[in-house]
Amino acid sequence: MNDRLSLAPDAARQLATATKTAPQMLGTTPRYLLRALPWVDLKSGVYRVNRRRTFVLGDDRIATHSDGGSPRVVPGDLRELPYLREADESLLTELADAFTEVRFEPGQVLAQEGDPADRLWIIVQGRAEKRVTGRYGEEQLIDVIGDGQFFDLGAWTREEATPYRVQALTPGLALCAERRALAALADRDENVCGSLAAYASGNGLRPGSEVPVDLTSGHVGEPDLPATYVDYEDTPREYHMTLAQTILRVHTRVHDVYSGDFDQTRQQALLTIEALRERQEAALLNHPEFGLFHNVAPGQRVQTRTGSPTPDDLDELLARVWKQPGYFLAHPKAIAAFGRECTRRGVPPVTDNRFGSPLLTWRGVPLIPSDKVPFSNGVRANGAGGSAAAVGTTEILLMRLGEADRGVVGLRPGEVSDEVEPGLSMRNMGTDQKGITSYLMTAYFNTAVLVEDAIAVLQNVEVNNYHDYS
Amino acid sequence: MTTPDVPDLRALLRAPAQVPTQVPSAVSAPVPADVPAVTAPTAPGTPAAPGMSAAPAPVPTASPEDALAALPTTAPGGFTPEQARKDVPILHRTVNGHPLVWLDNGATTQKPRQVIEALSAYYGAANSNIHRGAHTMAREATELYEAGRTAVAELLGAASPENIAFVRGTTEGINLVAQSWGRSVLQPGDEILVPVLEHHSNIVPWQLLAKETHARVVPVPLTPEGEIDQKAYADLLSARTQLVVVSQASNVLGTVPPVAEMAALAHRYDARVLVDGAQAVAHMPVDVQQLGADFYVFSGHKLFAPTGIGALYTAPGMTEAMRPWQGGGNMIESVSFERTTFAPMPHLLEAGTGHISGVVGLLAAIDWLRSFDREAVAAYENALMAYATQTMATVPGLEVIGSAAERIAVLTFTLAGHDPASVADWLDRDGIAVRAGHHCAQPALAHYGLESAARASFALYNTSDEVDQLVASLRRMRAGA
């Protein structure tokens, strides 16, 4: 028995249509990095970055591994020491064995200015600062060093006095080697002895600096002019297209019958494109070979002074990429942490509209957020899953952009068949026996840092410090 | 592309051939650089124009000497503005006792004698409907109509006359694309990129279409100079972009954006490109294939042809997605109540009897324009623009809006202390016609914080002397005379 007086909504629904949204996707981010990067369209598959010859190499870090709870130097990584670059693995293992473990506490002085540098320190974990006494007796901070960094190679090798004082900022762990271990090595091997002598009498050429072009200037009279040429790297770095790929399957029945209002295949493709682009941004940042975080040169890595990202730290980064800095790139949590540090100091950063959104800037350089910036050494919080977990330390990147300014560029193919977006193809692979149509969806991309000083990174950024402003 | 029988038909209409206009061009080519400034004031007096009693406007007294040195020169090779002026009767009348200075070419252009006579000759000797009736007159009219189509195809560099459909004008062409192509292609969530610079007729049809299809109209911002922000444009493009519309030249700022580059980028996102050529087509040689345009529209009346006629170019690959727009005669192949089949492009888009005399006028206008060296015309207009920009800068309180690197001869300006309408009114008293208002591009003016402005837009028959008259009149207004 129906006691309603009018038509029920449920019944009315049978006659009505619905206004539908296109499928929405939580995983979609603004992908500011992809938007900010200037893209170079490659005519061929390879991008070769030709450069002037430089003195190379390494990453200015000595890696360690844990061997039954105690840290050990990875012998091969001792080639970071310039004079051991050609050394045998056996020699390196011998030197690695000479390192002993040292634990330190905050405030502990690891090396005193003026003392003989009889030990080479490798910081396994922790942070310390290098200070010198200035010309008028005042304290001056020259550097903050962190995991993997070592000191002081020059003084240790030449058996000179340590040129600065090193004081621990955090509790930590280091490995030390006595000078006599190196001397023993040199006694045994002629090559090491030779290169050691050459290093000790070194003419001050910094690793990473370019082979000089001989010039003369300001002269009078008729001196013989220097003759020169500009040498190129023998094996310039080549970047190949990398890719993100998937096969999209759409049943022909679905496409044929349910494509009213929305073309099902197109909507599926649009969502797949979103996912491919997200993966692309993650790869551009984190790929072990070409990812931007893995292509920061020695000398371009800055440690935070106190852990939290402060205005001073970002200024330090700006000093590394002082030639036309383009964008900071950081995890949203790191940007929030930086905002808190600014609030605490009463220097609210200016916001600027870029890409249609307000972005925080520091010294006029926008900080673009990306949730693909990794956290390291993090202990996963309980039940943490998804993007909310922000435990451990993260990094803040600063980069200069564009081929013209010798900055960072994105690479993509100039033309791909079946292109639906630049560098992204959607190729029909045919319909199978089950009536399912497959589309091969491929995004081709890469990124290149044209010269080392185009990019710098602030490391060991902690994002979980909060202040009481009251 | 061939134009069979066309010369005969044109002879039938007694449309003035190109030959006479080319002769003086050869003669006047070596004329010295400063001739336009000297001869132009006498030009209005020579024909027997009624009411021609007023003295020529005084020469501006404070014109900078170096700007005078940069007077537009008579370009070598087949074009002088006097030659063009000679053909346009209306330029020899007076307005409010002064010889007419027509600087409202952005709104419409004045018609040469050749066009006016072609219309009269058509109705006097050749009027018939087309494509219908197996008689001589119908055949001739059809051939004339198709000759007009061929002439438009040649003017635009289209691959074939089949790519050209006649419409009433740019606005109808854009609406046709929105209704015929847009409604069959756009889905909810799709995007149409529309630069802020666009004319209302290139904004509103897309808004209407977007509302109907649940697509989105995405504005592409301008830089402070008045150019389309190319970085923002590249950023806004995505797989969701179905259409990019862009004016080849802005009617407000004169900006000429890099259409070919924008189209190439849009095509990488599989988006289509509609180019609004209303302002550009009279000022620069156009090649739709080189531009990469999928649609190109223009109005005849901005090309020295009659009002009510324009053309739509549709790239060959686009026709499949075009569905019939208006139903009626001419657009069908066969009709029955069971099944109606449609005529192939471009007739599919031309329901009913077309504006045949308009096409005849357009044909005459294209012939007239083609009797000049187009490159020389463009060079002359650039020189005139440079001269106008310099001399107008000497008027105190006058501000020219937009400073794009590439622009056609359009100067939109404001005069401090006077609203644009009163500026236009004042100039009109001196016989100078400029437009005041929002120029059907409110978003572009809003970009500069304005609601209205005055605009002087030049055509090939304008001279440096007319620029001087404009500047002198503005100075007098400024001085409170």
Query: Which positions in chain B touch A261 (Cβ < 8 Å)?
Result: 187-188
Nearest-CB residue to A270 (from B235, B239, B265): B239
Rg (CA), chain A: 28
How many residue contacts between A and B have a Cβ separation below 8 Å?
33
Give the one of A21, A262, A419 whose C-beta lies nearest to B268's C-beta.
A419
Hey, are the CB atoms on B268 and A263 less than 8 Å from each other?
Answer: no
Instruction: Verify whether the Cβ–Cβ distance A419 to B189 is below 8 Å.
Output: no
Residues β-bridged to residue A46: A240
Question: Does A312 sit behind a cis peptide bond, omega within 30 degrees of 0 on the bond before it?
Answer: no
pLDDT of residue B41: 38
Chain A residue with CA closest to B232: the answer is A355
| CA A257, chain centre distance (Å) | 48
A274: helix, strand or coil = helix
B-chain residues near A20 (CB < 8 A): 188
Q: Which residue out of A421, A425, A426 would a mutagenesis test of the B interface target, given it has the greatest number of B Cβ atoms within 10 Å? A: A421
Q: How many CA atoms lie within 13 A of B303 on its CB side?
A: 34
* pLDDT lower than 50: segments of chain B: 1-7, 14-76
Task: State the pLDDT at residue A203.
Answer: 55
Active-site positions of B read 440
The B-side interface with A (CB below 8 A) comprises 187-189, 214, 235, 238-240, 265, 268-270
The C-alpha atoms of residue B454 and residue B106 are separated, in whole angstroms, by: 12
d(CA A80, CA A95) in angstroms, rounded, equals 13
Q: What residue of B is the nearest CA neighbor of A22?
A: B189
Chain B CB contacts of A21 below 8 Å: 188-189
Q: What pLDDT score does A191 carry?
A: 81
3-state secondary structure B265-280: HHHHCCCEEEEECCCC
pLDDT at B216: 94
Residues B476 and B429: beta-carbon distance below 8 Å: no
> Rounded distance, CA A91 to CA A190, Å?
12
Q: Which residue in the set A21, A22, A35 is minimally distant from B235, CB to CB?
A: A35
What single-letter DSSP state applies at residue A453? G
> Are B269 and A420 within 8 A, CB to CB?
yes
Judged by CB atoms closer than 8 Å, whether chains meet at B187 and A20 is answered as no
Please report the pLDDT score of residue B2 as a whole number: 43
Task: Please state, in angstroms and as integers, the Cα–Cα distance from residue B470 to each residue in A321, B93, B348, B473, following that order.
Answer: 53, 17, 47, 5
Cβ contact, residue pair B240, A21, below 8 Å: no
What whole-number distance in Å separates Cα of residue A160 and Cα of residue A151? 13
Q: What is the pLDDT of residue A189?
A: 82
Return the H-helix or E-strand segment holding A351: strand A351-354
| Closest partner CB to A270 (pick from B240, B265, B268) | B240
Cβ separation A421–B188 shorter than 8 A: no
- Residues of A near B (Cβ–Cβ under 8 Å) read 19-22, 35, 261-263, 266, 269-270, 273, 355, 419-422, 424
CA distance B189 to chain A (A): 6
* Per-residue confidence (pLDDT) for residue B33, from 0 to 100: 40
Tell which of B211, B235, B267 to mutate to test the A interface (max A CBs under 10 Å).
B235
The question of ipTM being above 0.85 is answered as no
Query: How far does B435 lie from chain A, in Å, by closest CA?
Result: 34
Handedness of CA A103, A109, A115, A120 (dihedral sign): positive
This prediction has a pTM of 0.80
d(CA B128, CA A220): 91
Put simply, the answer to whether A266 touches B238 (Cβ < 8 Å) is no
CB contact under 8 A, B189 and A21: yes
**Chain B nearest CA to A415, separation (Å):** 8
The length of chain B, given as a count of residues: 481
Residues of B in contact with A421 (CB under 8 A): 238-239, 268-270
For residue B235, give the nearest of A355, A421, A422 by CB distance.
Answer: A355
Considering only CB atoms, which chain A residues are within 8 Å of B238?
421
- What string of pLDDT tens digits covers the 470 residues of chain A? 578 899 998 999 999 988 888 888 898 999 999 999 999 999 888 899 888 776 555 667 788 888 777 888 888 888 888 788 777 888 888 888 889 999 999 999 998 888 888 888 999 888 898 998 888 888 888 888 888 888 888 888 888 888 899 999 889 899 998 888 888 888 888 888 888 888 877 654 555 567 777 888 888 888 888 888 888 888 888 899 999 999 999 999 999 999 888 899 999 999 999 999 999 999 999 998 889 998 888 778 888 988 899 999 999 999 999 999 999 999 999 999 999 999 999 999 999 998 889 999 999 999 999 999 988 866 554 444 444 456 788 999 999 999 999 999 999 998 888 999 999 999 999 999 999 999 999 999 999 999 888 999 999 899 999 998 87
Query: Bridge-partner residues for A47, per DSSP?
Result: A239
Ranges of H-type helices in A82-213: 89-97, 153-158, 179-188, 190-200
Per the structure block, which two tokens stand in for B96? Answer: 């409010």
Instruction: Write out chain B residues lying below 8 Å of A269, CB-based.
Output: 239
Contact in structure between A273 and A84 (CB atoms under 8 Å): no
Residue A415 C-beta-side C-alpha neighbours within 13 Å: 4
